[in-house]
Amino acid sequence: MSDSVSNAAIAPPAVRGEVLEVIDAPKDAAVRVGRSRRRKGGRLPWLALLLLAPIVIFGLFGPILAPQDPTSINPSDALIPPMYFGGTWEHVLGTDHTGRDMLSRLIDGARNSLMVAFFGVALAGAFGTAVGLLSGYLRGAVDEILMRIVDMQLAFPAILLAVLLAAVIGGGLMTVIISLMITFWSTYARVVRGETLLQMQRDYVALARVAGASRWRIMRLHVLPNLLSVVLVLATLQLGAAVGFEAALTFLGLGIQPPASAWGLMISDGRLFMSQAWWIPTVPGIALVMTVLGANLLGDWLRDRFDPRLRQL
């Protein structure tokens, strides 16, 4: 759908030959949209949206929504259980060992998690897409070298890279984002390369070439817009993994650092008080599962709707 809009809007009408692309691209896109409509109807993934709604709303409007200051320590209110477990309306999800309000910490932590996951996935996506496009378009030696690098990247587990980075530059937001970028880009590169190879066989590429468009122009204006749906699906599928990865690193002390709020930090704090307060490690974990599950379901839905070819992922 967006393919037709972008292609038609970008191509200057007066240039001879480019007319061909304008004719070619929308028709191609229309066929695709028509097919996917028929397959799935117009149903939205309500469960996924429901699961993701809290974290997104918390992430965007956190400071307005938080009922209390997430960092205010109040020892007299320490270890109050959540409502329905002996707690009160004042602290709906209870308090932690220093008397901080769990709900406010949860809301505040959502922003950090979202930000890290979003930037990590976006940077990895941009870099991986560029590599995959170049590899698939240029083929030959460039393709061979880039794909071997991708293979090697896959042989280096993400967590090891993060451990190494944390040891050298210390833990923090940047460590998590850089590790996410360096480890996640290779999946995009591989998938985008495959998709580029397919797109290259389509008529619109041949027509653009006949019309005299340069390689750079074809890559940027014709092939790239047709890759965006694949990239978007992949990014959504990776978002859940990114949130989980950030939480794990933060839990180990390599990610977001105190006194900031983060779900991983809440869980690691809660470990020490588990025998008295089960809710401290449990509540942020449930938020984490909801987020990852929501992102996975949304990704699955987008994949089925826009790109059934990605089904093996």
Partner 1 sequence: MTRYVLRRIAFGLLSLFAVSLITFVTTRLSGDVTYLLAPMDATREEIAQVRANYGLDKPLPVQFATYLKNAVQGDFGTSIKYGVPALDLVLSRLPATILLSLTGFALALVVGVPLGILAARRRGGPADHFASLFSLVGQAMPGFWVAIMLQLVFAVTLRVLPTGGAGSPAHLILPAIAVSWFSIAAFMRLTRGSMLEVLESDYVKLARVKGNPERVVVLKHAFRNALIPLVTFAGLNLGVLLGGAVVIESVFAWPGVGQLMIASIGARDYPIVQAGVLVTASMFIAVNLVVDLLYGVLDPRIRNE
- By CB under 8 A, name the binding residues for partner 1: 148-149, 151-152, 155-161, 163-169, 171, 240, 244, 247-248, 251-254, 267, 270-271, 274-275, 278, 281-282, 285, 288-289, 292-293, 296-297
Nearest to 261 by CA among 115, 123, 121: 115
* For partner 1, the closer CB: 223 or 254: 254
* For partner 1, the closer CB: 62 or 171: 171
Smallest distance, partner 1 to C-beta of residue 151, A: 7
Smallest distance, partner 1 to C-beta of residue 170, A: 9
Smallest distance, partner 1 to C-beta of residue 225, A: 32
* For partner 1, the closer CB: 78 or 163: 163
* For partner 1, the closer CB: 114 or 166: 166
Distance CA 241, CA 168 (A): 24
Task: Cite the beta strand spans of the chain per DSSP E.
Answer: none
Please answer whether residues 132 and 188 qualify as being in contact, where contact means their C-beta atoms are separated by less than 8 angstroms. yes
* For partner 1, the closer CB: 118 or 278: 278
* For partner 1, the closer CB: 133 or 242: 242
Smallest distance, partner 1 to C-beta of residue 15, A: 44
Smallest distance, partner 1 to C-beta of residue 171, A: 8
Smallest distance, partner 1 to C-beta of residue 219, A: 27
Distance CA 239, CA 28 (A): 29
Please answer whether residues 179 and 124 qualify as being in contact, where contact means their C-beta atoms are separated by less than 8 angstroms. no
Q: Which whole-number Å values give the CA distances from 17 to 13, 211, 213, 264, in the listed order?
A: 9, 5, 9, 56
Q: Which residues contact 79 (CB under 8 A, 6 or more apart)?
A: 94, 95, 96, 97, 99, 273, 276, 277
Residue 135 CA, chain-centre distance (Å), reads 23
